[in-house]
């Protein structure tokens, strides 16, 4: 008897089709991964299965759970007990005012029907299992992304639901946390079934089982994960796989860099009065691309800001060997939409920079072509363009100032894999041509490996 059987499930807004009809069947112990870019409608599929689509959308097709055909209303009885869904942002899905353990206890008591004492004991045990034994009393805002995710999973599973739907479970987590969460998902759903929705090829590879690839609401390809990953049929799938830094071509060895730009001796960096990393010694040369890697919270961003002079170094010295004026020490931000004012069009912003520093307008056109930005784009404001386009606009603005040093703070972590690959390549090439030193920060060691001349590893 199949746990889940879906026939021609489709989602419509009015009569525009958001998700083309899809059919699938899941037996006990099976695992399915749905792979696709952000915004390709894979979340809608999860909500359609679960039965909690926003009431402005409607579905067609039949959903049979545990052998019983149920419409959206009837499925609510199964929530938590037979089928459970893990939403995208765990730090938003936990009650902000209640402690983690308390929320877990509550699920045991009310959903699984445990006695108060049992529920309390079980909750403590589950949290200890996750290595969260001493943060039971903490609230969501006191937990890191990874910890919040693990509490959310525990809560979702507390009701004993055999089938688990995980929607982008690893979004925003760094590599080490990501693998931990994937292991937890697979162990929890051994005896039931697991449907995982993700854009991360590495996650799909670890989960195995069967896979479906979706692009803008269309099902492109489905089959065993290992077969598709090794021999993708559809060009989009191929591009998606290649976008994983592991598959990027190796970096050509850089020419030697001689002239030092900035020298750091026995530097300690920190924010407020808490020191993050101590005794750092390195020299950054002109035109060199240096990568900085480390777990979140080890001070990667703070190092860059200290070099730019935004933060004071706590100890040690920073020697600048170049007399370049302040505005030639620039920064690229992790979230470009937060770094560019929404009030006016990009053209006006560009115009402001050009007027301020009296830049020769002739240089704009060639640079825009190189960055793949077309003229029409500039008429819109920062919300009217995609994340990739906006990051490239920021690079345009920075490069027009002839920077000697560019601190790129995880510039591609918010972009989807394919765009991230293009933008990171573009960044390194353009910087090299203009003799600008780059410090690239990322939590993905493969990306740093494939893009930088040299790597600095920070440990918390």
Q: Are strands 58-65 and 68-69 parallel, antiparallel or unpaired?
A: antiparallel
Q: Which is nearer to another protein, 42 or 215 (CB)?
A: 42
**What is the Cα 14 distance to its own chain's centre?**
31
Edge-first strand order for the sheet with 454-457 is: 329-332, 405-409, 437-441, 289-293, 454-457
Is there a contact between 204 and 180 (Cβ–Cβ < 8 Å)? no
**Interface of this chain with another protein, residues 90 to 109, rule: CB under 8 A:** 92-98, 106-107
Among 60, 68, 69, 141, binds another protein (CB under 8 A): 141
- Using CB under 8 A as the binding rule, whether residue 220 contacts another protein is answered as no
- Using CB under 8 A as the binding rule, whether residue 329 contacts another protein is answered as yes
- Using CB under 8 A as the binding rule, whether residue 152 contacts another protein is answered as yes
User: Which stretch of DSSP H or E encloses residue 439?
Assistant: strand 437-441
Both tokens of 160, joined, read 């004993």
Q: What is the contact mask toward another protein in residues 108 to 137, using x (rule: CB under 8 A)?
A: --xx--------------------------
Q: Cα-flanking dihedrals φ and ψ of residue 254, to 5°?
A: -75, 150
**Interface of this chain with another protein, residues 370 to 399, rule: CB under 8 A:** 394, 397
Looking at the chain, how many residues does it have? 460
Q: Cα-flanking dihedrals φ and ψ of residue 221, to 5°?
A: -155, 145
- Using CB under 8 A as the binding rule, whether residue 74 contacts another protein is answered as no
Among 52, 283, 345, 425, binds another protein (CB under 8 A): 52
Nearest approach, Cβ of residue 144 and another protein (Å):
16
| Stretch of 266-274, 291-299, 319-327, 368-376 lying at the interface with another protein (CB under 8 A) | 319-327
The residue count for binding another protein (CB under 8 A) is: 54
Q: Which is nearer to another protein, 139 or 432 (CB)?
A: 139
Both tokens of 230, joined, read 């090794």
Both tokens of 436, joined, read 């600008």
Residue in 258, 264, 308, 266 with CA at minimum distance from that of residue 288: 258
Q: Which is nearer to another protein, 96 or 366 (CB)?
A: 96
CA dihedral defined by 37, 43, 48, 54, rounded to 10 degrees?
A: -130
Q: Cα-flanking dihedrals φ and ψ of residue 381, to 5°?
A: -95, 180
- Using CB under 8 A as the binding rule, whether residue 284 contacts another protein is answered as no
Q: Which is nearer to another protein, 164 or 213 (CB)?
A: 164
Residue in 84, 85, 204, 88 with CA at minimum distance from that of residue 148: 88
Residues lying near another protein in the complex (CB under 8 A)? 50, 52, 76, 79-81, 84-85, 87, 89, 92-98, 106-107, 110-111, 139, 141, 152, 155-156, 158-159, 161, 308, 310, 325-327, 329-331, 333, 335, 338-344, 349, 352-353, 356-357, 394, 397, 401
């Amino acid at each position: 008897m199949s746990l889940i059987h879906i026939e021609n499930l489709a989602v419509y807004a009015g009569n525009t089709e958001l998700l083309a009809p899809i059919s699938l069947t899941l037996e006990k112990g099976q695992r399915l991964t749905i792979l696709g870019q952000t915004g390709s409608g894979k979340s809608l599929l999860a909500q359609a299965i679960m039965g909690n689509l926003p009431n402005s959308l409607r579905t067609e097709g039949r959903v049979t759970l545990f052998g019983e055909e149920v419409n959206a209303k009837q499925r609510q009885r199964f929530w938590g007990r037979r089928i459970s869904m893990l939403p995208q942002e765990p730090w938003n899905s936990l009650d902000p005012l209640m402690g983690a353990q308390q929320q877990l206890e509550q699920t045991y008591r009310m959903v699984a029907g445990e006695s108060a004492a049992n529920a309390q004991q079980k909750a403590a045990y589950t949290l200890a299992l996750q290595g969260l034994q001493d943060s039971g009393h903490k609230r969501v805002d006191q937990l890191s992304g990874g910890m919040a995710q693990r509490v959310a999973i525990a809560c979702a599973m507390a009701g004993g639901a055999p089938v688990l739907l995980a929607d982008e479970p690893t979004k925003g987590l760094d590599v080490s946390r990501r693998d931990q969460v994937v292991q937890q998902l697979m162990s929890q759903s051994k005896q039931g079934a697991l449907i995982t929705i993700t854009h991360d090829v590495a996650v799909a590879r670890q989960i195995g089982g069967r896979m479906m690839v979706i692009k803008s609401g269309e099902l492109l390809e489905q089959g065993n994960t290992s077969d598709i990953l090794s021999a993708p049929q559809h060009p989009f799938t191929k591009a998606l796989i290649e976008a994983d830094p592991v598959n990027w071509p190796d970096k050509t060895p850089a020419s030697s860099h001689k002239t030092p730009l900035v020298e750091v001796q026995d530097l300690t960096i920190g924010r407020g009065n808490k020191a993050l990393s101590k005794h750092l010694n390195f020299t950054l040369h002109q035109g060199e691309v240096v990568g900085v890697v480390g777990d979140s919270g080890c001070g990667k961003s703070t190092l860059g800001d200290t070099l730019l002079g935004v933060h004071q170094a706590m100890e040690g010295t920073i020697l600048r060997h170049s007399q370049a004026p302040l505005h030639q020490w620039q920064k690229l931000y992790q979230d470009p939409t937060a770094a560019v004012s929404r009030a006016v069009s990009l053209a006006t912003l560009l115009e402001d920079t050009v007027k301020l520093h009296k830049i020769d307008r002739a240089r704009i056109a060639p640079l825009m072509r190189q960055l793949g930005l077309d003229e029409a784009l500039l008429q819109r404001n920062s919300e009217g363009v995609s994340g990739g386009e906006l990051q490239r606009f920021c690079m345009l603005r920075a490069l027009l100032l002839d920077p000697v040093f560019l601190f790129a703070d995880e510039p591609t972590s918010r972009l989807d894999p394919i765009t991230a690959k293009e933008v990171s390549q573009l960044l390194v090439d353009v910087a090299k041509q203009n003799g600008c030193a780059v410090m690239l920060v990322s939590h993905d060691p493969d990306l740093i490996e494939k893009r930088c001349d040299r790597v600095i590893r920070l440990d918390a």
